[in-house]
Structure 1
Amino acid sequence: MGYQRTNRISEEIKKIVSKMIMNELKDPRISTLTSIVEVDVTRDLRYANIFISVYGSQEEKENTLTALKNASGFIRKEIGKKLKLRYTPEPIFNIDTSIEKGIYMSNLIDKLNKKDSLDEKEDH
């Protein structure tokens, strides 16, 4: 029961914050290629861990994270207006690196496959 509720709240926060990044937050430090990967709300609904993915350089990622952290009070207020909860979760922004890790792993696998095919050709 409680698990489903936190999942629903997480999804709603994901939608709200995504729209805010696209339409309402005008901070030039926020990269246009920023997306919300996942939102994980704690069971007591006090905190919302928001994992973002930023396509760009390390500096762009850091600037976007800083800007979102600076805007977290405004973001929390807007979440509170739209969700009508007893406690509005405190947004905590984190960079999600799973996409980069996936690309890195995929490249490693490709290199190994190429090496294996070259080794097989040399054996024959």
Structure 2
Amino acid sequence: MDARTPNKSPLYRTPAFPVLLLQLITTLVVAITLWFFRGWIAGYSGLLGGLVAFLPNSYFAFRVYRYSGARSARAIVGELYSGEAGKLILTAVLFIAVWLGVKPLEVAAVFIGYLVVLAVGASALLIVKSFPKH
């Protein structure tokens, strides 16, 4: 008998959802702001930088919240490690894809988008704590 219990809750019911939602909104706000003040190349560069942070975080959240319950503790720990490894690999692949596949590109805008969205993720405990419960 498998001790892992699949989580029946959809991703939007997990504690990661408010953080991911705020990261997605932040990605769009950064892209629009850069587009408005620096032009369309900066805008889509910032959008790509934000997505390089957002997509791996979404992958990590999906992996970590796949299981629930005390009987799934071992599976959850395993998902933490594999999810983090996958997140790092996905981040590297996305950065390489952006650098090699997108021309013209404003490098500073890519890093601005990436770092701002990453800062939202670093504030996750504050975000989850202040998000209203359903």
TM-score range, shorter chain: 0.3 to 0.5
Higher relative contact order (CA 8 A, sep 6+): 2
Normalized against structure 2, the TM-score is what?
A: 0.33
Normalized against structure 1, the TM-score is what?
A: 0.35
Q: Which has the larger radius of gyration?
A: 1
